[in-house]
Structure 1
Amino acid sequence: MIQPTVNSDLRPFHEFAEYVTKLVQLSRTSHVEPGWESKVDAALNGQAGAELRRVSPLKTRREFGAFFTGTDLGARLLDLCSAFDRNSVIYDPTCGAGDLLVAAARRLPIEKNLNATLTQWGKQLIGTDLHREFVHGARIRLVLLARQRHRSNSKLKKTPAQFFPEIKVANGLRQIHLLKQATHLLLNPPFGLEKVPKNCAWASGKMTLAAEFVANAMEHANEGAELYAILPDVLRSGSFSENWQKHIEQLSEIRRTQSFGIFDSSADIDVFLLHAIRVKQRKLTHSGSWSPLIAKNRTTLGDLFEVRVGTIVPHRDEEIGESYPYIHARSVPAWATVREFSESRLHSGRLFQPPFVVIRRTSRPEQQYRAAASIIAGDVPVAVENHLIVCSPLDRKVGSCRQLIKQLKLPTTNDFLNDRIRCRHLTVKAIKQIPIEG
């Protein structure tokens, strides 16, 4: 669940309550009734998200960050987990309708009967969310899962709220006592931007709330607590996230990062999975464990080229100084060698002396080539727009540019970049890390 930190008294998802009522009715229906099993399977496997999309406009879901995890993504995250036992305490600070808690409960043992299982799960499963409809839905879905696993029509001795007293309406950023109780933390936090708190030492301006939720969890969790999180890929591969990464490494051991791809069709953002374990605070470091490891003896693009972002920001930089050829992403055909220039611009800042290669910064994983490039040749310095990354060969030879173009077309380069950075803008750091064949 991607959740905001704003007050939800207005109940923007009140229509979801009708669906929760149907789940309550299903939880009271005999498991021998025709279709009961298939209805429960649907309720536990993606139906809640589909219903939310049906009753809530995309604009509202984006405003409040309401995007449920989904069965496949939740299962992939829980596949990273070690086994749970009766001593495991699992907390999801942004639980939504309970997708991650349901995924966790599938891996919990059951007791001798339905009521005993729900009582035990109530001690182990903790969740918070700002929207009461989602909280009610999370409790009922856990009841349905327990009934399905027991195949029981036993009358419940308590209400779902009584069985799950720690799945409740609350702001997950403020539940420090719950973070300290947890042996396992499950997170699919907010992805939206928010102004950085005044006391934040590792960021300034604005940042994704996902960064704050992970930092908050690691700052307050007990040593040995395990974090499993679904996070926007920019936190793994974006250069501006390095201070956040260092902060998390100071508090935890990064066990694994795994690229996943698009969150879902309605939240068109790439995500990755993170497994980290809380450790004693240690010296600030940066191990590079957020990205694919590159062999130390492997030649990379950055060993052979100076890599920089073009310097001109259109519509912001003044046109002053002398006139020079000017290139941008739309004026240089991909994979071509450009010697003549259709545009010029007055410019007094940094210029780039050919020969060099330009790579388009805008790039999506589904494109045929992640690093679509062109060679810029000639003798005249060129002004370059900031949506291009400039790779200038250290040996100043056009032949090196041609070799780089061949490298950028290789499937291995695509594979590397798809693993290294799934953001929609390539970074200088990612380009410099491209392994060079031969």
Structure 2
Amino acid sequence: MSTPDLIEPEDGNKDDNLGLYRRATQNGAEWWRVSVGDRPETYRLEHATDDDENGAGSVDIDLVVDAENLRAKLKKWRREGFALERDAPEATDTPTRIAFMPELQRASARMLAAKLRDAGNADAGLGSPADDASAASVRIGNVDVRCGSAHPLVPRVNPAYLFPARFNDIVADIVENRRVMLIGHTGAGKTSLIEQVAARSQHGVLRSNMNGQTTVGDFVGFWTVKGGETLWVDGVLPTAMREGLWLIVDEIDFAEPSILAALTAVLEPQGRLVLKEKGNEIVAPHPAFRLFATANAVGAMSQFRHLYQGANLMNEAFLDRWRVYLLDYLLPAEETDVLIRTLAPHMTRPLATTLAAIAADCRAAFAREDLSSAFSTRRLLDWAELMLRTGDPERAAGPAIYAKVSPEDAALIRGIIRHHIAPAA
């Protein structure tokens, strides 16, 4: 794993473009401030105008650009007479604001180096017994994931699945045994992301869907009578904890309060489950146990709660026990690659590009609430596969799309398709 390039302070700056660009005006001064953006290879630009009467003005432009756009801005500023002032006394907060990101980059690099050393020690037999349970690991994105043992519940690997760089933090959280909640629209790939990480690292997966019919007994366990003998049956939670499986609680925003109460006890990385119905038996988590949740209308997705009838509000205390990631649909370029990789060698790039654009337009219509049904990558792949078999997009769309949605949605989707594809002669 390579250490990211650092933004060094002024005495060893690898990026001489950071700083304050100022030019004099008739009434005062105008300036642009350049600092490191929150995302890799991006820069934050802030603009303000100071006047002689009122002094420092407030920032009226605040945007993030990539390196190419920054170069274009710098050329424009030079033509307009802006000059770089690294330590401008008029802007007293500038050095602090600029210095924060380089300092953070150095701290992040030190933390990464420490983790690499710890991983090396574990591989050399210097780690804890839990760390040494399995020496094999697999690289997923830019993260090394320790492999589990063969298990019947290990998902099947999808060789066409993509792991964009934005998934690296999620995979790192899995390695660190964080509780991960993925939120997003139906069909955005929340569950499949976890399953594909598990498939490549050979970890078994249990899923529990909170569909309104799932009881706390199904989740935690219950007593039953078999052959005249009273037996305890573990639910999915203690089963996963004992066997070191990965448990996905799907649609957690539809779960009953009693299930959430049982779940809260194990949200800490080493949290234990107390089976009160079984004489307060304590279930300790296996080192390989991981806990995940998916939701459609939580946090940043709360604005869409009306699209997911029956979803419950979740309080901040509960959400604060999770790392919550918002997953959107694949970008058109990414979905194009998935289509080609899944249906090679028959799917060509021009065909895949058009199909991905259709899916993007359908999702935009769903976001505007013009469509009442989402358009998942799974649906797109099914349509594309049937289209290759029949040679007719409209005929393939019947069982793959139209029959699954309302007549109104089908008419709108048909219009989007025909916008991109001329009807067959």
What TM-score results when the alignment is normalised by the length of structure 2? Answer: 0.29
Higher relative contact order structure (alpha carbons within 8 Å, sequence separation ≥ 6): 1
What TM-score results when the alignment is normalised by the length of structure 1? Answer: 0.28
More helix by share: 2
